[in-house]
């Protein structure tokens, strides 16, 4: 009986943790982060992401360092049918640190969930095309870059 009680307690703690994670599929909203993203997982490879052009925001789900899903809203843009996301003040965002640790993400676009990978973009020409795409899609004027602002860019690709 001595070894049984700790096992029961450990099992119950694990079951409660799993139940809370599943039950707490809370989507992010504006600046408020969420948890896991519910929805049907899209199974086919996406060759052309241009269908996202009419989506103002998408959701990005990462995995935190303590294995809890962390989701945020993000703007997205397509350039030559590839999907890109960006983050202002990237060095201050928790989801960016999560992606640096584990680039596998889940994206929710409209009602579908896409299991993908984010790859950092560092090429200046590609970044200029991405920036132009954001200006066109979101209809804002390009501004002088804030010296304190670090912007990160990622390309969405299929997982390995």
Instruction: Tell me the pLDDT band of 26, cut-offs 50, 70 and 90.
Output: confident
Which CATH code for domain 4-158? 2.30.110.10
Q: Tell which residue, 23, 112, 28, has the closest CA to residue 62.
A: 28
pLDDT tens figures, 109-154: 988 999 999 999 999 999 999 999 988 888 877 665 566 678 899 9
Region 17-41 average pLDDT:
67
pLDDT tens figures, 76-92: 999 999 999 999 888 99
77: number of Cβ within 10 Å: 23
Enter the tokens of residue 3.
């070894």
Q: What is the pLDDT at residue 20? A: 53
């Amino acid at each position: 009986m001595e070894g049984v009680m700790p096992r029961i307690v450990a099992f119950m703690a694990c079951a409660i943790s799993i139940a809370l994670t599943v039950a707490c599929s809370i989507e992010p909203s504006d600046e408020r982060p969420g948890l896991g993203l519910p929805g049907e997982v899209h199974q086919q490879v996406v060759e052309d992401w241009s269908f996202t052009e009419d989506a103002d925001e998408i959701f990005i789900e990462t995995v935190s360092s303590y294995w809890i899903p962390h989701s945020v809203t993000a703007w997205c843009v397509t350039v030559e049918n590839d999907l890109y996301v960006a983050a202002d003040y990237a060095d201050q965002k928790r989801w960016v640190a999560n992606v640096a640790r584990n680039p596998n993400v889940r994206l929710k676009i409209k009602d579908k969930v896409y299991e993908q990978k984010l790859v950092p973009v560092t090429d200046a020409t590609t970044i200029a095309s991405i920036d132009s795409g954001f200006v066109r899609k979101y209809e804002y004027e390009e501004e002088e870059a804030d010296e304190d602002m670090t912007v990160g860019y990622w390309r969405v690709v299929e997982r390995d």
